[in-house]
Structure 1
Amino acid sequence: MTITYEWRGPFEDAEVNVLHAEGFGHPVLDIGWRAQLARHSLGWVCARDGEHGDLVGFVNVAWDGGVHAFVLDTAVAARHRRRGIGTGLVARAVEGAREQRCEWLHVDFDDELRGFYFDACGFRGTAAGLIAL
């Protein structure tokens, strides 16, 4: 199967809602992704099945309006996992943030994703703080 990756690729809210629900284990919500990304994102990456055009992966790259960008909402359809699609999404997100002259790309994640982000995607650990709200 051929996967295509597109920085700021076209998508429908409904297809991201389904993918996000599957990736994060919650019911399908009616989120207006296009409007949300237009307000808060530097860009996003869509991964599509090259044969059928189905959205099989997505990552959002939010930013602070300056030199810091943030990887959010990385999701790959369950039937397509363990094929390098997530790594491809993040690699294209890195390229997109770099092309937009960001100097830093941040990510936070649950412990079980440490190997993915550190080993497969090249992030490194830093000191950070968090307050649960």
Structure 2
Amino acid sequence: MTVRYTVGEVPDLAAYQMLCAAAWHGPGPASLKRLDHSLTWICAYDSARLVGFVNVAWDGGIHAFLLDPTVHPDWQRRGLGRELVRRAAEEARERGMHWLHVDFEPHLTSFYRACGFRATEAGLMRLA
């Protein structure tokens, strides 16, 4: 498997929607307009096929946030997710970020620990 990574290049919407459908079992977003507010994002391609994606949002200061880390199920457990997170962290650091945050479900704890994250307390309020 030879994977090519891109930084800040907007993926094809249809390809992103197909990735989301495979990984999240639901439709992807209607547009990629939300990327206009991101610090950057990383895409992973196997040949021309989009197989991974992670969005790096930010607060306008020194905090960055991983959003939508996604790997196609056929490419999972091959190190692609860790590489997406590693590259996202590297890009955030190069852009002056001091902190990288991520929210995740409990079954992903070992993955994020392997990526270098440590547990912290946080609050969450449901708005809708």
Determine if the alignment matches structure 1 residue 31 to structure 2 residue 36. no
- TM-score of the aligned structures, taking structure 2 as reference length: 0.93
Q: Distance in 1 between matches of 2:119 and 2:28?
A: 32
CA RMSD of aligned residues (A): 1.2
Equivalent position of 1:14 in the other structure: 14
Contact residue 20 and residue 73 of structure 1 kept, 8 A: no
CA drift of 1:78 comes to 1.0
Q: Which amino acid aligns with 2:53?
A: F
Q: Distance in 2 between matches of 1:68 and 1:109?
A: 17
Determine if the alignment matches structure 1 residue 48 to structure 2 residue 22. no
Determine if the alignment matches structure 1 residue 85 to structure 2 residue 104. no
Q: Distance in 1 between matches of 2:126 and 2:81?
A: 26
Give the total of aligned pairs.
127
Residues 110/30 of structure 1: CA separation in 2 closer, same or farther (3 Å cut): closer
Q: Distance in 2 between matches of 1:29 and 1:10?
A: 15
CA drift of 1:10 comes to 3.7
Percentage of pairs with the same residue:
49
- TM-score of the aligned structures, taking structure 1 as reference length: 0.90
Q: Distance in 1 between matches of 2:41 and 2:6?
A: 8
Structure 1: tracts of 5 or more residues without a match: none
Task: Describe the SS at the equivalent of 2:39.
Answer: strand
Determine if the alignment matches structure 1 residue 72 to structure 2 residue 67. yes
Q: Distance in 2 between matches of 1:91 and 1:31?
A: 28
Determine if the alignment matches structure 1 residue 118 to structure 2 residue 113. yes
Structure 2: tracts of 5 or more residues without a match: none
Cα deviation code 1:45-74 (max 9, x no counterpart): 00011xx22110000001111111100101
Contact residue 69 and residue 102 of structure 1 kept, 8 A: yes
Q: Distance in 2 between matches of 1:29 and 1:117?
A: 23
Q: Distance in 2 between matches of 1:41 and 1:10?
A: 11
